[in-house]
Amino acid sequence: MEADLQKAAAKGIIDCFKDYTDLRRLLTPNENTILHVYLTSPSERSPDFIGQVLGICPSLLVQVNVDGDTPLHIAARYGHSDAAKALIEQAKAALYDPTDVESGEDATTRQMAAARQMVRITNKKKETALHEAARNNNGLDVVKAILSIEDPEFTYSANDCWEPPLYIAADNECTDIVIELLRNPNSQSLDYGGPNGKTALNAAIIRWDVDAVSKLLERMSSLARERDENGWTPLHYAAYEGSVSIVEKLLDQDISIAYVSDKGRKRTALHIAAARGLVRVMKKIISKCPDCCELTDIRGWNILHYAVISKSDGVFKEVLQNSSLIYLLNGKDRKGNTPLHLLLASRPYLPSFIRDGDTDVFKFLMQNIYYVTDDVSSRQEEIVEWMQDLGSGPFGKMVVKNWDEERKEREEKVIPELEKAKDSHLVAAALVATVTFAAAFTLPGGYVSDENESKRGTPILSKNSAFKAFVITDAIAMVLSTSSVFIHFIMVMLGYKQRYYWLIRSALWFIVFAMGAMVVAFVTGTYAVLAPSMGLAIATCVIGLSFFLYVFYASARLVIGSIMRDQTERSGTSISRSLRRVWRQSPFYLCKLFFFFFNN
């Protein structure tokens, strides 16, 4: 097919093809026909052109390209519902033999059989047109058109990746298609399975699709008890993802799944939630199944052992606040390690809520800590190595490290970057120091110059509160920026090494706080001078303080963007899905934002 004919096919210009006797021979390098080229477009396609082409060459209806795709595959892939309906109607007219009267079937039955013949065609990925439509958010009408062909004897089985249409729809968050597949009476033969022993319910849970989960459980409640190749139930996946609403739906459907453990390490969903630091999920499972806390994994770990791995003080605190679960503190694993052994081996200090707790529980806890401290110090490396062995499967992707090791790794990564930026940091610090030093000797409002020698040379606004704030913040900005300049000066001699990380970080934060103090000095100084014109003074203050709003906005976007990228890389989801997940957990991320400021 020449380039001009391809353009004509893409635009749907039929006149260019009326003189050709055999349209089957007009092919692109990928063996796409005129219909393939026409349908490969995101814009809606006209059924008229399809009808005209098939009127010239009916066999194009089922002619495949190099990937084994028919025109119906392409229409389903791009969500062209009108084109899909036209192709199905053309199949009824073109594929059945009107002279075949020996079968005893009427024309309508034979036309339906001809349509079934086309929708059953699979490509080289073993996918039908329904598979293609199921992964397209705009493919609902195409799905309806395909399912309008009654075909109770045919099963839409899995493709070469073991994904049937229902699993594909759930995995791509096509909720409307999932509901249609479950609702349509012609979809009785749909397969609920998926790759690696997963089901469509697992896929919906991973995508946080609550509506799809509800419909799947309503249609086939036994899916709640299905286990994948690692022995994970849907509740394990819900606990891993941290969806409280889905956890509640699953437990309402079948409370016994809370006691099901996986194959390798005998971990329940509660263990998974504890290891992930998901307090709300833990509370939901414990509230419905209190005795689930008694279960241990194959190594003898209870939920407090996993809470230590999560490094979430909230999980540890939540368990300890429940007086009926205090006994878990003394739970020993196969090597004799209690949760306190793991806690002391992996953290350089105790959580503040333990140190400052004044209840009998925390007093008892502190006494136990003193007893195990010597044991931990002699076996710290052994205990940490024991903690790092988390097994295979999705949960095994987590890596547990000693807090000191994590801190050293973070410093090793940050120091080279700070060394590269040292020149810009030094220029910024020197600039702030110069500006604030000059401002101290050109005070706003001027000086007293009357004949009274005792007051001569003193600031006119010395008794003004805004002026006092200006002097103080200006002095703070100058001291901090000068200190930063001094640190960068001595770092040239000492070298940017890991043991001086605390000094490098101090210089960076000195610059940040000096800039903030300089802005406050500007605002208070201009307010002191412009106080007689209150409107202008307030407008200047608002404009000046908007600097802090922008700093918070930029910092929030950087931190949340980093979290989104981490989730995208970890789970393989798209940025839009990660954004929705971040929005659901926004209170947690706001807290993490402040933690980021004071620990980095």
| Residue 137 tokens, joined | 């958010």
In this predicted model, what pLDDT tens digit does every residue of 272-306 receive, in sequence order? 999 888 889 999 999 999 889 889 999 999 998 88
Q: Band the pLDDT of 414: cuts 50, 70, 90.
A: low
For the chain, give every domain's residue range: 1-150, 415-599
Please check whether residue 246 is in contact with residue 210, taking contact to mean a CB–CB distance below 8 angstroms.
Answer: yes
Q: Band the pLDDT of 589: cuts 50, 70, 90.
A: very low
Alpha carbons 173 and 577: distance in angstroms, whole number: 9
Element (H, E) at 142: helix 140-147
In this predicted model, what pLDDT tens digit does every residue of 87-133 receive, in sequence order? 998 888 765 555 554 454 566 777 788 888 899 999 999 999 999 99
Alpha carbons 239 and 281: distance in angstroms, whole number: 6
pLDDT of residue 573: 46
Q: Band the pLDDT of 258: cuts 50, 70, 90.
A: very high
3-state secondary structure (DSSP) of residue 447: strand
Higher-pLDDT residue of 268, 104: 268
Q: Is the pLDDT of residue 510 over 60?
A: yes
| Residue 275 tokens, joined | 């290891």
Alpha carbons 255 and 140: distance in angstroms, whole number: 34
Please check whether residue 492 is in contact with residue 522, taking contact to mean a CB–CB distance below 8 angstroms.
Answer: no
Q: Is the pLDDT of residue 499 over 90?
A: no
Alpha carbons 368 and 377: distance in angstroms, whole number: 15
Q: What is the mean pLDDT of residues 197-217?
A: 93
Higher-pLDDT residue of 368, 574: 368
Element (H, E) at 25: none
Least confident piece of the model among 41-45, 113-117, 421-425, 439-443: 421-425
Alpha carbons 576 and 571: distance in angstroms, whole number: 13
Q: Is the pLDDT of residue 569 over 80?
A: no
pLDDT of residue 570: 41
C-alpha separations of 13 from 4, 32, 46, 57, 525 in Å: 11, 17, 11, 16, 73
Q: Is the pLDDT of residue 168 over 90?
A: yes
What integer best gives the mean pLDDT of the chain?
81
Alpha carbons 505 and 596: distance in angstroms, whole number: 13
Q: Write out the DSSP string of 39-75.
A: H-SSS---HHHHHHHHHH-GGGGS---TT---HHHHH
The CATH architecture of the domain made up of 1-150 is: Alpha Horseshoe (1.25)
- What lies within 8 Å, CB to CB, of 476 at 6+ separation is 513, 514, 517
Q: Write out the DSSP string of 202-261.
A: HHHHHTT-HHHHHHHHHH-GGGGG---TT---HHHHHHHHT-HHHHHHHHHH-GGGGG--
Dihedral of CA atoms 587, 588, 590, 592 in degrees, nearest 10, equals 170
Least confident piece of the model among 75-79, 400-404, 426-430: 400-404
pLDDT of residue 217: 94
Amino acid identity at 561: G
Q: What is the mean pLDDT of residues 180-188?
A: 79
Percent of the chain with pLDDT over 70: 78
Helices 107-119 & 81-94, crossing angle to 10 degrees? 130
Closest C-alpha to 123, from 174, 69, 79, 173:
69
> What value, to the nearest 5°, has the Cα angle with vertex 193 and ends 206 and 237?
25
pLDDT of residue 257: 94
Q: Write out the DSSP string of 189-203.
A: T---B-GGG-BHHHH
Q: What is the mean pLDDT of residues 205-230?
A: 92
| Residue 1 tokens, joined | 């097919």
Q: Is the pLDDT of residue 583 over 50?
A: no
Please check whether residue 79 is in contact with residue 62, taking contact to mean a CB–CB distance below 8 angstroms.
Answer: no
In this predicted model, what pLDDT tens digit does every residue of 155-166 receive, in sequence order? 888 899 999 999
